[in-house]
Amino acid sequence: MQIYDLIIIGAGPAGITASVYSARKKINFLVISLDIGGQAAWSGDIENYTGYQFITGPELAQKFQEHMRKYDTVLKENEEVLELKKSAGGFLIKTNKADYQSRSVIIASGKKSKELGVPGEKEFKNRGLTYCATCDGPLFSAKTVAVVGGGNSALDAALQLVKIARQVYIVNNTSALGGDAIMRQKIEVSGNVTIFNNSQIISVAGDKFVRGIKIKDNGELKDLAVEGVFVEIGLVPNSAFAGEVEKNSKGEVKINLRNETNIPGVFAAGDVTDVPEKQIIIAAGEGSKAALSVFRYLAINKF
Ligand SMILES: Cc1cc2nc3c(=O)[nH]c(=O)nc-3n(C[C@H](O)[C@H](O)[C@H](O)COP(=O)(O)OP(=O)(O)OC[C@H]3O[C@@H](n4cnc5c(N)ncnc54)[C@H](O)[C@@H]3O)c2cc1C
């Protein structure tokens, strides 16, 4: 089996930036990822990535991809890493398709959406219930939809949907919306949003597709007729495959300032780590740092 110097897990902002830096350092590496762009591709409008005063998530993800491909990077796409473990001389990475060996690893697997855990969620997933407003929002033109959640992800989803849907309900389980003030202000003036604070979703119902949700609004049960449900209640790190790597109580991979984990040769970057802020520019910066640390690690260990 070929032994790579480095395997990068994930092709979001962190993994793609790590790949660009690794290519420029002539490291013999491979990228394995479920998709390209990661959460950046789910974002609506991005106004805080320096150099672009405004760009959409899918456009920025496309720019990242073009940059990565410029270096003839070897990429295993639509492939899921199931296990990362130590092996003789390095690490063994098992995916749903193959096994790979490497002398070092960068974990850049980011985060995924939390599930609601209510009746109807699994049944109506991709049949009206979705975790990605950017990907699926356009399917709900002139329909009534519900966004579940009250933080930045929920506000981002709602702001995309107000332009597409007829009516948007926000089901938020706290007393007021969180997230950035500028986003809350845009929601308040949009005209077609109804906010249910102190409310929980109880179930999702329908026939072939979603037709409604039951909520508990300040203790009172209500049925809302909706054709779409956008679940935006937060994210969990994709770190389960890295069993031997130390994590914090949230499941985030613990790293130091050089992006090193507790296992020499395993580095991590971006949203999957315990770096406090989760932003595209931070993930990209962390990806570059991780690649430079790998370069130093490979040189010191004379691989
Ligand atoms: C709706 C929304 C809007 C946002 N808006 C903004 C914004 O306006 N500005 C901003 O700066 N940030 C925004 N963010 C946050 C930003 O998108 C993230 O901080 C950033 O994408 C994190 O990058 P990452 O590379 O660490 O992880 P991710 O983007 O999560 O990428 C992880 C990658 O790893 C892959 N992967 C995961 N598990 C596996 C596995 N087991 N095997 C193989 N591959 C795997 C995924 O397919 C993906 O390619 C937003 C996030 C969301 C959800």
Residue 303, pLDDT above cutoff 80: no
> Following DSSP, what letter does each residue of the chain receive, concatenated?
--EESEEEE--SHHHHHHHHHHHHTT--EEEEESSSSGGGGG-SEE--BTTBSSEEHHHHHHHHHHHHHTTT--EEES--EEEEEEETTEEEEEESS-EEEES-EEE---EEEPP---TTHHHHBTTTEES-HHHHGGGGTT-EEEEE--SHHHHHHHHHHTTTSSEEEEE-SSSS--S-HHHHHHHHTSSSEEEE-SEEEEEEEESSSEEEEEEEETTEEEEEE-SEEEE-S-EEES-TT-TTS-B-TTSPBP--TT-B-SSTTEEE-GGGBS-S---HHHHHHHHHHHHHHHHHHHHHTT-
Could you tell me if the CB of 11 is within 6 A of ligand 1?
yes
159 and 214 share a domain?
Answer: yes
Range of the domain at 133: 121-231
**Rounded Cα–Cα distance for residues 83 and 237 (Å):** 15
Across 41-45, 152-156, 174-178, which has the greatest mean pLDDT? Answer: 174-178
Report pLDDT digits (tens) over 87-136: 988 999 999 999 999 999 999 999 999 999 999 999 999 899 999 888 88
214 and 243 share a domain?
Answer: no
- pLDDT at position 161, please? 96
Could you tell which of 109, 112, 272, 275 is best to mutate to test the pocket of ligand 1, judged by most ligand atoms within 8 Å of the CB?
Answer: 109
Q: Provide mean pLDDT across the span 138-148.
A: 96
Could you tell me if the CB of 237 is within 6 A of ligand 1?
no
Residue 298, pLDDT above cutoff 90: yes
23 and 109 share a domain?
Answer: yes
Report pLDDT digits (tens) over 60-89: 999 999 999 999 899 999 999 999 999 988
- pLDDT at position 19, please? 98
Nearest to 274 by CA among 282, 34, 19, 295: 282
Could you tell me if the CB of 43 is within 6 A of ligand 1?
yes
257 and 109 share a domain?
Answer: yes
**Rounded Cα–Cα distance for residues 250 and 100 (Å):** 28
225 and 88 share a domain?
Answer: no
Domain count, the chain: 2
Chosen domain end from 184, 216, 231? 231
Assign residue 273 the CATH number of its domain: 3.50.50.60
Could you tell which of 39, 62, 255, 278 is best to mutate to test the pocket of ligand 1, judged by most ligand atoms within 8 Å of the CB?
Answer: 39
281 and 151 share a domain?
Answer: no
Report pLDDT digits (tens) over 265-291: 999 999 999 999 899 999 999 999 999
Chosen domain end from 212, 231, 250? 231
Chosen domain end from 186, 212, 231? 231
Average pLDDT, rounded, for the chain: 96
225 and 174 share a domain?
Answer: yes
Q: How many A from CA of 276 to the centre of ligand 1? A: 14
- pLDDT at position 302, please? 77
Predicted TM-score (pTM) above 0.85: yes
Which structure tokens are listed for 179?
Answer: 């997230």
227 and 241 share a domain?
Answer: no
Report pLDDT digits (tens) over 163-210: 999 999 999 999 999 999 999 999 989 999 999 999 999 999 999 999
Q: How many A from CA of 157 to the centre of ligand 1? A: 15
Could you tell which of 43, 186, 235, 267 is best to mutate to test the pocket of ligand 1, judged by most ligand atoms within 8 Å of the CB?
Answer: 43
Q: Which residues 6+ apart lie within 8 Å of 47 measured at CB?
A: 53, 54
In contact, 149 and 130? CB cutoff 8 Å: no
73 and 210 share a domain?
Answer: no
Q: Which residues are annotated as catalytic?
A: 132, 135-136
Which structure tokens are listed for 191?
Answer: 């005209």
Could you tell me if the CB of 280 is within 6 A of ligand 1?
yes
Report pLDDT digits (tens) over 207-228: 999 999 999 999 999 999 999 9
- pLDDT at position 44, please? 79
- pLDDT at position 207, please? 97
- pLDDT at position 222, please? 98
Residue 1, pLDDT above cutoff 90: no
17 and 85 share a domain?
Answer: yes
Between 15-19, 46-50, 213-217, the lowest mean confidence (pLDDT) is in 46-50
Residue 32, pLDDT above cutoff 80: yes
133 and 211 share a domain?
Answer: yes
Which structure tokens are listed for 268?
Answer: 């991590």
125 and 67 share a domain?
Answer: no
